[in-house]
Amino acid sequence: MGIVSSGFMGRRKREVPGLPPGQYVTEGFPVLSAGPTPKIDRDEWVFTFTSDNGNSRHWNWNGFMSLPQEDIDVDLHCVTSWSKLGTHWRGVPVDALFTHVETDAQFALFHCYGGYTTNLPLRDVLGGKAWIAHQFDGEDLEPEHGGPARLLVPHLYLWKSAKWVQGLELIPEDRPGFWESRGYHLHGDPWREERYG
């Protein structure tokens, strides 16, 4: 237990099921991003999958929408300490991008419009753990929240759920992405409070 502030009572619920350590619940949906919001039309949107052997596959919006779609109900946890519980999304499971892909790679680097990147072990994005999401609460995803499409990796801190995602690159060895090379944790598990590197 830390230094006790005798005048501080705190007003939030003490025990919230599903809330990782050091987090509090917000009803809003705060926006955090590093620069201007890119404005990308679905007509020009392309998602590129680059394998570790150099081969690449591309989906335009229509091709992407013809992939399997799932409804996703998950909690979100931001490294800045807020959590938003019970959010509703729709998107393509990352597993669906791996059909007919054979690889020994164990890591992926996701690329975004605007230059942002984030690194993830494949074990954290396959097996129904991550999606490329394009709807939030039944509506098309707003640009400020990452539309047309963002990565959604709800079991890790939200900076891993990269906005404006446009590519997945398989990499043989883990290497830090944008925030990970600027002081944030390489992995980012909220239940282990992997906030800073």
Partner 1 sequence: MSGMWRVADVVGVHEETTTARTIRLRLPEPVRFLAGQHVDVRLTAPDGYQAVRSYSVAGATPPDSLEITVDELPDGEVSPYLVRDLAVGDQLEVRGPVGGWFVWRPEETSPVQLVGGGSGVVPLMAMVRAHAMAGHPAPFRLLYSVRAPESVFFRSELETLARDDTFDVTYVYTRRAPDGEPVGRLDAATLAANVLNSGSDPAVYVCGATGFVEAVSGWLVELGHSPDRIKTERYGGVGGAS
- Give the binding site for partner 1 (CB under 8 A): 1-12, 14, 22, 24, 26-38, 78, 80-82, 114-115, 144, 178-179, 181-183, 195-197
Nearest residue (CB) to partner 1, 87 versus 197: 197
Beta strands 82-93; 70-77: pairing state: antiparallel
Nearest residue (CB) to partner 1, 158 versus 170: 158
Nearest residue (CB) to partner 1, 59 versus 118: 118
Check: CB of residue 51 under 8 Å from CB of residue 66: no
CA–CA separation, 197 vs 187, rounded Å? 9
Nearest residue (CB) to partner 1, 24 versus 191: 24
- Please report how close the Cβ of residue 190 comes to partner 1 at its closest, in angstroms: 12
| Greatest Cα-to-Cα distance within the chain, rounded to the nearest angstrom | 61
**Buried b or exposed e, range 54-89, using 16+ CB within 10 angstroms:** eeeeebebeebeeeeeeebebbbbbbeebbbbebeb
Structure tokens at 37: 């919001």
- Please report how close the Cβ of residue 3 comes to partner 1 at its closest, in angstroms: 5
- Please report how close the Cβ of residue 37 comes to partner 1 at its closest, in angstroms: 6
Nearest residue (CB) to partner 1, 4 versus 54: 4
Pick the closest to residue 32 from 103, 81, 94 (CA basis).
81
43 CB-contact burial (10 Å; exposed 0-12 / middle 13-18 / buried 19+): exposed
- Please report how close the Cβ of residue 65 comes to partner 1 at its closest, in angstroms: 27
- Please report how close the Cβ of residue 30 comes to partner 1 at its closest, in angstroms: 3
